[in-house]
Structure 1
């Protein structure tokens, strides 16, 4: 029996193809408008998509090594801050999880934690984060506080061969640990609000986390009371051993990029081999990334793809699927049969491929019982079958 799937989307500018902004139905003048993001995410929300990730970086464009000095002028450049976009969207959406991309190298972990907790409050329990480790030389120049860090991918292609990349993932692990600890620093019943006694806060239920790591230290509690999910959803994209190990240890959801369905078994085996380092009590959820371009016929899809590729060549880490809605559903089913928990679809063109996903792909997939049925769970963690987290301080008290 085919394993039922969750479907998420990854939103990135005018779409994941670098030439997408030149399509006639693209909206390049609106990419930094509130309306653009509101309409995209509301459409995904109405269609029942479980969460949307929002891309971000600390440079003009993508984090590519060939753009460290001068950004290309023939591609979309400039963006809005993903956490702020998600916070704006929180009260304007109903069910969809909001998962902004955050880079762990430069932003203070305390600020990341409080921003995510605030997003969880604003959304009623739908906050998450896509964790990005490391930084480029240009990002480091933008901040001007540190010079150490990775310089491109090692010649071997393996991040474990570069001590700077290994350090970046250790630092990212500490950031996630701090985010989770700060989320736990307030117990659920820390706020009393007793007018008669004049007592607003039970100070005994707010805890200093006293975190001390290799890269930073935090002593104190979060400034944000405990949020609806208890813990925000932590996600990560992983391509090889060090990122797989990071995701196994720290994440709730990992995005993988197999070459095809047959390649999934190799990746799942590698994730399983890292399971001994896992800190989280629930099993890691595995989503496959698929970059999709969708038309009503295969010929039309091929023609659209050829036009985009003629204008600018896409080089993608994800499996690319060009074809009809039926073909996209067939690909999702093949990966489901390979044992994953869901797919994250990257629309090649926005808004057109997102509209094809919401209007054609999801109804087809639902009709064949490929998707999880909506159980009306109120929070993102619950929609993914993950329980609400209790503060570990409260658990310690209960077991004392």
Structure 2
């Protein structure tokens, strides 16, 4: 599966700062110090209802992570999956009377278009669950061989008790885990499971549903968590720098994935930091596919909204915050974009060297994008009020905003 084209990232004078970011597993800020190549895995979409602003906010956060790393003169090895076979996708295809493969391909193509418009840097490896199946099957077989998996009516489950570190990503108690498991794709009430929290690794073929040859596992399809584990281990290995996604993935998805990988390899942890973006609401409720209260990037673009304004709207909220999309949020972003473009359109302006460092400082401090925007606002206000004589300043600001914030002026 191919990703989307990369926009050029301008080089800035000097060098960026190492990133301090909130780690869900420890509950505090950690300073990431990758080697020459920083490694990040971000969980991708299940391709229906793409791309809503909740998606966009999440991928914007991890785009900033990449930009901070690139500014430190590191390379970035970024991997993202597409869950192109799963119960919700099949249910949507059945509801709409369309082929599930066609639905997945259509929505993935739309996602690519939106990511391109928003100037999100693409992953080096963009892998669908279906194409990952040949690598998934041996992992499930291995887990069964070492006693970390068991069969139940043809389905294969992972035993969470096989991982002594289980629970150390989300740090939730058993009751909270059970509740979230039921809400987020698990089956804690299924009779016969060794532990209600045990997640499915391999679902035996069901009549009328797609299935693949699973070798000794029989025909079927992979569970949700093992999909990402197979892709991450194949392309990044253990101990990569950041495992990212929305806050609703901390449990069960990232918790279970970490346990799968740790039992398979005998190494801990799977990732150095588990980083989660907040949720976006509309009319007082979190945007969700089940509720249908979604605002789509493609619809905004069709309505003539500049993608740079959409991106500024996302950047105006701290990535970990839960926030609400309103018409005012968009209007403020459109106005900010106009002010910035007016400010850099002049032949000279106030010196901007300190501005670059202000943006770097803000982003290195747990991706504080609102503080970075405020710094640019201050420079634009000085430009509007007093102007300046530095002929290089508008170009410096334009390149810094592009390189570090992904906004084209």
Alignment TM-score > 0.5, same fold: no
Please report the TM-score for the alignment, with normalisation by the length of structure 1.
Answer: 0.29
Structure number with the higher helix fraction is: 2
CA radius of gyration, larger in: 2
Please report the TM-score for the alignment, with normalisation by the length of structure 2.
Answer: 0.29
